[in-house]
Structure 1
């Protein structure tokens, strides 16, 4: 099987490359704007271009993959920027349409839990989307466009809704990276919110493993939550990290206000993922 991965140098992309490299019967092409570096597994083929200006025969340039794991998206983690739907949505669709029209058989595209909007509780794939920020809106719009395109051109489409990830290589402003920076520099306190929010957290290595399995084992799965299926409070998550590292650092709870663009308690249903892949 031949797999191409866009956004390969990004947070999730790097871990997907490591996960797919463990499959010995798979040929991988890593795609990114930046040149290859230490993040690229040894011996893996790399193609550099910006999806807003792809080469004329992009499908051939990617080695005519059997499946594309599409992770590339610009401007994150600014979920509120209008560029997500004003410019980047059209750029994303044009790029993926080029590949589909050239014969791409299967596409797995990363979506977001923000497509569900401000709903609370357990979120199932059957719920109608109701995005309330520009990023979630653009992702949902791209999914709808691709569903029409797949019906016309016949490629298999899987839409992996990602929830809350953490791990090595995450953006400096993320909760995990801020915690690690504070602890490793001997900070006495770690400022954070009250921590009462319930979220669906999954380490990025496990997210990557599940994405690769979906791409290889369940083409055309439609919308799938890639999640733990378990509600965990932000405070409990951070306290767990603190226990692992045994840093003498206190949590300054309530230092930051809760974000207005997300509900206090929501998590994903992992039932469909389990049906597709078995116990994960």
Structure 2
């Protein structure tokens, strides 16, 4: 089985490529640069945003495409989310209309916007950031495409990711960076909000296991299913890494789309993992 991974050299992509290679799949890796890409992966140099109709053949005619490519994923108000939206859609549309039978795309809890409680596949979406708006719109466009074409479609909705912190841009990455610079305090919110946290290793496992099966489709929450206070998770992170930096609570307000308590319904991903 041939699997194309776009954004293969990104924060998530590198981990996904490594796991697929370790499992024995033929992996086609697509990105703008290939420094550090697994040597067993086949490098795809064809630009995915070329808008070529025959892009499916040009990227190796894969059995599955795992689309992780996304610019400025950690910068929620970047204009690039809107600028790039049509490029993502045209690439994926051309892939589907010219032979791809199984498409997996990375989503985000930020599609939902402000919401209190458990998110499932039927939860209404009202995104409040450019990142969330662009991802939500791409999902809707692909669901529209699904109604007119026969293919397996899985939208993997991620939550708060911990791990590989020096390559990311999460709050954990920022704390690790400030610790390395010798800073004494990290300016923080109240930390009372509860979120669904998952390690990058477990998220990688959930992405791969979801992608290599075709019985469970649609929106799949890749998550723990367990809400935890942000301050508890951050304090745990600092203690686990023996950092000296201290949190300075109440410096920043919560963002308008930061819910007091939000987590994912993990029933679908549990079924997938149990069937692996």
- The normalised TM-score by structure 2 is 0.92
Partner SS for 1:251 = strand
Given the alignment of the two structures, is residue 152 of structure 1 paired with residue 148 of structure 2, yes or no?
Answer: yes
Residue segments in structure 1 that go unaligned for 5+ positions in a row: none
Partner SS for 1:153 = coil
Q: Identify which range, 217-226 or 12-21, moves more after superposition.
A: 217-226
Distance 1:102 1:220 in 2: 24
Partner SS for 1:200 = strand
Given the alignment of the two structures, is residue 84 of structure 1 paired with residue 81 of structure 2, yes or no?
Answer: yes
- Quick check: 1:106–1:220 contact (8 Å CA) kept in 2? no
Change in CA separation of 1:13 and 1:56 when aligned onto 2, cut-off 3 Å: same
- Quick check: 1:196–1:235 contact (8 Å CA) kept in 2? yes
Given the alignment of the two structures, is residue 69 of structure 1 paired with residue 66 of structure 2, yes or no?
Answer: yes
Distance 1:201 1:279 in 2: 23
1:242 to 226, 238, 250: 238
Distance 1:59 1:169 in 2: 34
Change in CA separation of 1:279 and 1:132 when aligned onto 2, cut-off 3 Å: farther
1:37 to 32, 35, 38: 35
Change in CA separation of 1:190 and 1:75 when aligned onto 2, cut-off 3 Å: closer
Distance 2:55 2:216 in 1: 22
Distance 2:190 2:59 in 1: 46
Shift of 1:279: 8.4
Shift of 1:81: 3.6
Q: Identify which range, 7-16 or 57-66, moves more after superposition.
A: 57-66
- Quick check: 1:158–1:219 contact (8 Å CA) kept in 2? no
1:194 to 180, 190, 196: 190
Partner SS for 2:212 = helix
Distance 2:113 2:211 in 1: 26
- Quick check: 1:157–1:222 contact (8 Å CA) kept in 2? yes
Shift of 1:262: 2.2
Q: How many residues align?
A: 276
- Quick check: 2:11–2:168 contact (8 Å CA) kept in 1? no
Q: Identify which range, 65-74 or 253-262, moves more after superposition.
A: 253-262
Instruction: Give the equivalent residue in structure 2 for 1:203.
Output: 199
Partner SS for 2:56 = helix
Instruction: Give the equivalent residue in structure 2 for 1:104.
Output: 100
- Quick check: 2:163–2:199 contact (8 Å CA) kept in 1? yes
Q: Identify which range, 244-253 or 149-158, moves more after superposition.
A: 244-253
Instruction: Give the equivalent residue in structure 1 for 2:269.
Output: 273
Residue segments in structure 2 that go unaligned for 5+ positions in a row: none
Shift of 1:273: 1.3
Shift of 1:133: 2.2
Shift of 1:91: 1.2
Change in CA separation of 1:197 and 1:95 when aligned onto 2, cut-off 3 Å: same
Instruction: Give the equivalent residue in structure 1 for 2:22.
Output: 22
Distance 1:218 1:176 in 2: 34
Instruction: Give the equivalent residue in structure 1 for 2:225.
Output: 229
- Quick check: 2:195–2:262 contact (8 Å CA) kept in 1? yes
- Quick check: 1:109–1:158 contact (8 Å CA) kept in 2? yes
- The normalised TM-score by structure 1 is 0.91
Partner SS for 2:148 = helix
Given the alignment of the two structures, is residue 52 of structure 1 paired with residue 49 of structure 2, yes or no?
Answer: yes
